[in-house]
A and B are shown apart, each in its own frame.
Chain A
């Protein structure tokens, strides 16, 4: 998200907080395809993703007043709402959609799963924030990067990562912890 888009989305959120339904419709129009993409990716089922998206926008409408300009960008705030809700949904036992493994056949789902190669990094070039993050991810060891991306994109827990990557739980936890530390220092913020 570039500054101009951020400003526009922040203005729309501000208008939503004042009960402006037209602004809310515009906000939905501008952001729902991206957030639906995030939910579909994490939940791997469009029907569940649609349910989550609906709940999230109702929540965004109700909580627009609590969005504070300056703390985080509008898209960051809304993405967090959607990812949190997806993680809640994944926590429920009824949802058991297998993640395609890299060593399985079935090319469609294969392509979507981050491997040790850069994969989705290539498309992670759309905003300045994303470029900086992609550069830092590229500096991580392959396994570390893969673990972090699987956790982010697919919503895998530590134990799911361990089983998917066929590594001991402790190893995967260490990769995640160190990987995150390195990302932070690479991004140069504190």
Chain B
């Protein structure tokens, strides 16, 4: 089988050749995942796309098996999750893999997004690729939120109540929309049923959008840490085996951390209140989402006005859609942006600060800190990013990827 750059593959196996002549799946795999020219200078941040894909598949596989044993009924759901953990063979493993998997899926995706931000992966010609990624993030958030409702613990119930109630901020039709979402006049059995149906549906839509994300990626190929386009074969390596093996190594390291949580601290990332069955008559002291939604929750609560809070929360993600046009710099990678680079780190700290504020009741110092951090978040994207691109003087770009790699080797 030929595998040199660009040459069409020749299949020696007759059956494969026969199929490929009629349905070119083998040629496709060959072109997109074997010979696909990929910049030779990726660092380990480039592992996280592959890692996120594996986590998505792992969530779907464990989720389908869990669904076979779960009861989406308000009277049975809580106990059915515990029955899975106690009486289904390896049920505890499935449940903890799924529960912890949600956190690690988000962790991988957040690193993946940070990679995109730092190295300017969202810039032309990859705007649509980036926007599809934001769609995936939104779908993930919706899926995770609905999944968290399914064990029907206290935090499931009250989290669902708080989040669905956000829609009541919409003028005029708000309350009707909330009743429609609930399927009643409070979060209850109909809500649980539809959330279960949607929680099963959305992951497959995520798979479809991921497929589009990958197709868009393969049009212009990956960005790289230098942010300059490959100029020829000396700048690239075939995807396989170079990056399949590197991704494989990165994935194993990621899975070690994941496994440590699944097996030794499965409840560490969760809220103890979710081991108390949902009780509409008792409100927990604090209603907090899982860690991966905390920064957005902090933005929601930082705004004194309910509708304003909802708009800012959704706006904080909507901003990402127009990010490619907010950034006015012609240079992609922060490696060559001496000023903006530090602001990306500052943004990361800002989001962590927001997350900490989201985890605590909005009182005392958390109120002004959350407001300041929210203001800074929007300042970063709406003012700093457009202005800095115009006034910052980027460092000189290397003439080619190969040049930079060889120079680095010489040093």
Chain A bound to chain B: no
Q: Tell me the A residues contacting B by CB distance below 8 Å.
A: none
